[in-house]
């Protein structure tokens, strides 16, 4: 790791000639791997130090599999040249691609078109993960449209994030056949749909039963989220942000319980108490729960009951301070090891910045 530190500070290190004769290529390759930090650009400069370093970098195809685009300003020709260089030097290895909206010269949709042409039309390379962060939901729609059009049998991780949270209108009408179209990803395991816009036709959009990790922040009602989770029988980690305003009325309806037998981590972020989700979920293996809401009107009984159902396995818990006012809610949690309380203990003070993490003690 000392060599790695030297390289990070100055790859023109004066001992380069010595290293050329004394450091085995496999050690150099391992050192280069620590420089990557999710971006194969970080190995370009070391590859120009000497002939041995360049040959080592070019021979190790794994060093060229991390393609990060749009995280800084650069001209389009340079960005696309980097994309093509990585695809060529990876020589068929599975790629991890990240697109961000921070390049004022190239928009995310231009990157998506370039990636689509290189990886799908020309079939120059294969990818196992794709992460898109943008300010326009239409860029996410473009990505879904391309994925629906061409098969991507090697993709295990997909993330689509829209930073614009002002709109939540349904995007189904913008999508091909009004579906997300992710059935072209047969081995998809990790899915993030981090945008406020709704999507209605969910059932036929994704192989939900193959997912092990899911994050959805769409402004959909709790009942809609439950209809999706009911299909996700193999989830191990789940993060959702349901619209919970109507949960109290929805409790009067009739719903089948949602069994997530493998779920170990659950995150729920909402404005009102997530009563309906708490009542319907059955999570016999749950170890960590993060539940955050902003407004309470003495509606936490369902949530306390949910924690009680998970008492045998629940070890880590994070809740708003206002929830801790519920009398004796923590008594059944005999295996809880860590409790984090955020905000104040009054319902109108839950947005305060202070909070505390502590070993669990009875309230």
Q: What are the pLDDT digits (tens) for 75-128?
A: 999 999 999 999 999 998 999 999 999 999 999 999 999 998 887 655 666 889
Whether the Cβ atoms of residue 207 and residue 188 lie closer than 8 Å to each other: yes
Whether the Cβ atoms of residue 129 and residue 156 lie closer than 8 Å to each other: yes
Q: Give dist(CA 97, CA 114) in Å, integer.
A: 12
How much is the pTM?
0.87
Highest mean pLDDT among 45-49, 149-153, 205-209, 230-234: 230-234
Q: Tell me the pLDDT of the chain averaged across its residues.
A: 85
Coil vs helix vs strand at 213: strand
More confident residue, 218 or 299: 218
Please state the rounded mean pLDDT for residues 119-141: 85
Laid out side by side, the sheet with 126-134 consists of 66-69, 94-99, 126-134, 157-162, 190-194, 213-216, 237-240, 265-269, 288-292, 316-320, 338-342, 355-359
DSSP 225-248: HHHHHTT-TT-SEEEE--B-TTHH
Percentage of residues in the chain having pLDDT higher than 90: 52
More confident residue, 133 or 177: 133
CA distances for 164 relative to 135, 138, 141, 155, 168, angstroms: 5, 11, 14, 26, 10
Banded model confidence at residue 312, pLDDT cuts 50, 70, 90: very high
The confidence score (pLDDT) of residue 189 equals 97
The string of pLDDT tens digits covering residues 228-285 is: 999 999 999 999 999 998 887 888 777 789 999 999 999 999 998 898 999 999 999 9
| Residue 20 pLDDT > 60 | no
* Tally of CB atoms within 10 A around 350: 20
Banded model confidence at residue 168, pLDDT cuts 50, 70, 90: confident
CA dihedral sign, ordered 70, 72, 75, 81: negative
Percentage of residues in the chain having pLDDT higher than 70: 84
The confidence score (pLDDT) of residue 171 equals 87
| Residue 56 pLDDT > 80 | yes
Coil vs helix vs strand at 17: helix
Highest mean pLDDT among 168-172, 234-238, 331-335, 346-350: 234-238
The four Cα atoms 233, 219, 296, 236 give a dihedral, to 10 degrees, of 20
């Amino acid at each position: 790791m000392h060599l790695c530190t030297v390289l990070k500070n100055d790859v023109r290190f004066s001992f380069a000639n010595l290293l050329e004769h004394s450091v085995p290529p496999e050690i150099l390759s391992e050192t280069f791997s620590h420089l990557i930090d999710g971006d194969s650009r970080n190995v370009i400069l070391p590859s120009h130090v000497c002939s041995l370093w360049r040959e080592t970098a070019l021979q190790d195809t794994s060093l060229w599999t991390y393609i990060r685009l749009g995280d800084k300003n650069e001209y389009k020709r340079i960005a696309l040249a980097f994309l093509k260089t990585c695809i060529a030097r990876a020589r068929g290895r599975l790629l991890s691609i990240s697109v961000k909206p921070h390049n004022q010269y190239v928009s995310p949709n231009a990157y998506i078109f370039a990636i689509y042409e290189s990886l799908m039309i020309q079939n120059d390379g294969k990818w196992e993960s794709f992460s898109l962060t943008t300010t326009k939901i239409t860029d996410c729609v473009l990505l879904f449209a391309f994925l629906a059009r061409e098969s991507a049998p090697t993709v295990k991780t997909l993330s689509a994030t829209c930073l614009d949270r002002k709109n939540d209108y349904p995007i189904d009408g913008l999508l091909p056949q009004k579906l997300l179209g992710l059935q072209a990803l047969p081995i998809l395991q990790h899915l993030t749909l981090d945008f406020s816009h709704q999507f209605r036709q969910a059932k036929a959009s994704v192989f939900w039963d193959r997912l092990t990790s899911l994050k959805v922040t769409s402004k959909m009602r709790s009942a809609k989220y439950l209809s999706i989770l009911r299909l996700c029988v193999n989830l191990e980690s789940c993060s959702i942000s349901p619209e919970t305003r109507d949960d109290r009325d929805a409790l009067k309806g009739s719903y089948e319980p949602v069994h997530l037998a493998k779920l170990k981590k659950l995150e729920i972020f909402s404005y009102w108490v997530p009563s309906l989700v708490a009542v319907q979920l059955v999570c016999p293996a749950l170890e960590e729960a993060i539940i955050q809401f902003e407004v309470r009107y003495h509606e936490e009984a369902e949530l306390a009951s949910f924690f009680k159902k998970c008492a045998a396995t629940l070890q880590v818990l994070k809740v708003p301070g206002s929830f801790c006012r519920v009398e004796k809610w923590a008594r059944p949690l005999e295996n809880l090891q860590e409790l984090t309380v955020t905000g104040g203990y009054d319902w109108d003070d839950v947005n305060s910045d202070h909070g505390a993490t502590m070993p669990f003690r009875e309230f």
